Structure 1
Amino acid sequence: MKPAAMTVAGVMSGTSADGVDVAIIRIEPSRGARPKLALVAHEGFPYPPVLRKAVLEAMNAARTSTAELAQLNWRLGLEYAHAVRKTVEKHKASVDLIGCHGQTLYHRATTAMYAGQRFACTWQAGEAAVIAQQLGVPVASNFRPADMVAGGQGAPLVPLLDYVMFANAKRGRVLQNIGGIANLTAIPAGAGAADAVAFDTGPGNMIIDALAVKLFDRNFDRNGAIAARGMVLADVVEAELRDPYFALKPPRTAGREQFGREFADRFLKACRRLSKRPEDALATATALTAESISRSYARFIRAKMQGGPIDYIVSGGGARNATLMAMLSSRLESLGCELATSEGFGMPAEAKEAAAFALLAWMTWHRLPGNVPAATGAKRAVVLGQVTYA
């Protein structure tokens, strides 16, 4: 199928489980290797509290029911349809296609035995048929499995957008997303998509948010204001960075399986052994995110960037956390990086991941590979996802 210009709505709900981001993108084929992208509109919608509670309880749950999971799958489809409809109506837009990542409930990138067979697996909830029928627009969804069957980890999938939007002939660029999990894409100056390196650096907002709920009854630490009042417990940070995950070489992925509620509970206990001040625990969680990002860059990326100026471009909810950004700045600038947010490059911080799934949907629609094997570890490039027609 010859690629055609389309207006695509990308829908993303990440591991923070705080809500839904919608980005409407105009995508046009070009003579070069990269299509042209233009942001039309974007909006964010917090989950209703009762839905967020259901999502968090289902993630990596030790015990639940098929009825609960089936109902959550359909309820999320309704939520995604509502978010797209509201965005389209507000901006008087029209979309040809929707790309929906879904809500990850379980992701195991490594193989394990189950019922006599060894395999990796993933599950993103959010019924695509509900979205397609509610809006009368076809939906591309379920992007991760094809990469995993091809030997990849099913993540990260944002590197294609990072390359299309941000690759530069003269400047190396690192695209750092900080959602529930933090992930980066590194693109040396003049590099092609196959030269990009991408992986999850570790926890992003996940532990910060968990402690904000537990200690302050808030869904997140707005602007990092609470952490700014605390003292970083350096011994806790160093101890946690000895977790085997941080020594893994890319490609690697992480989720609530590694840094979910169990990790947060252990982390808080470690903090309380040194300080009873809740602000100190939140400051230490923020420092863990900053330190794991900067050490990931120093250990796995810095030598690949070929010297010269490096733009370190942050997106995701973490870009709004002033305390976290200050910690990152102090660490990364000493490594030769110039810290910025994606707004300065034409993409609002909250919109980038949603935009990525708009692009992936466009690729799927035209039967074009959407994964970057160098990032996911797949043996080959493959067409991602499946299309549900309206």
Structure 2
Amino acid sequence: MWRDLAPIGRAADSGGYRRYAWTAADADCRAWFKAQAESRGLTYELDRNGNQWAWLGDPAAGGAVVTGSHLDSVPDGGAFDGPLGVVSSFAALDELRRRGAEFTKPLAITNFGDEEGARFGLACVGSRLAAGQLTVDKAYELRDADGITLPQAMERAGYDPTTIGPDPDRLARIGAFVELHVEQGRALDLTGNRVGIASAIWPHGRWRFDFRGEANHAGTTRLADRRDPMLSYAETVLAARREAELAGAVATFGKISVEPNGVNAIPSLVRGWLDSRAADQQSLDTVVAGVEKAAREYADRHGIDLDVVRESFTPVVEFEHTLRDELARILGTDTPVLGTGAGHDAGILSASVPTAMLFVRNPTGVSHSPAEYAAEDDCLAGVAALADVLEGLACSS
């Protein structure tokens, strides 16, 4: 499975992946998922929001145990973030069949669409729509860098966008959702464990900072006469680092758009996106407020207009304790339980169904990069752990 999936959407120049929602690479990933489902005799479904499902047993029976993740990527992302969870889900089912497990509950494997938000700027679009955390009106307003709206992209990919929206009936079928994911940090590497259990997802969000100045000639305009928004932006990037260090949090300006974007032109607009995450809400609020306060001071100093817009936000997610404790019972109480600053579909769904997560060791901690890596032995340990969990949840009386 890994060899078949690996070439899809891989960029020759960087070695990273560009599997963006509703593109040709996304279509190839979806075809791969469907083929894996059908080759195992599973019932394949594409739901109203473009999420893929592969069912073993009758979905209408209720109390289903669902596993899976996503197949899309960030720009030049790694091979493991998302796909490891989907591949491991099919592999865990194969392992359970090898064991001769008898299922007493329906089992499903899923691929949630547009988890990374690389194209339209909002993470977890597929699961947010299903859970009613993204309205249809807001979804229709999403645009990519070329101005293509989400509905237009879906139509071009052969999907009907008029069907999108909350999917409570489908979610009501689910008794538990367990997502396996490569760890996006080094906690397991530091403890020497192959597999861990998630405790919580830090609160996190994305904020857009629009610095508006005055375009002018880079060679003839005196420094004293400039209204250069790049200066305010650059100072704000440094402020974000300072505020995050003070609060024990993280803050990153990782995306920027400049107009008119000429080498010999002073910008008229610098638009930067802040991603910030912290272990608790108060710390996150402190960081973002501090960054915005500094940005406004810098903007005033340079004669720059500033708008700040919160584009997305996810509060802290404490995974359902009963299910989390059940995973610890199945895998052993010595299995480490750890928090994460990364968002996931499991976090979105946690408001609607009991959810839990398993992490597989990442020896370098690198993620969202072509250098992302997990050793084969650790991946196989993750498959075995997921199989044990699914057997404990779906094969119990």
Bigger Cα Rg: 2
TM-score category of the 2 structures, normalised to the smaller one: under 0.3
TM-score of the superposed pair, with normalisation by structure 2: 0.27
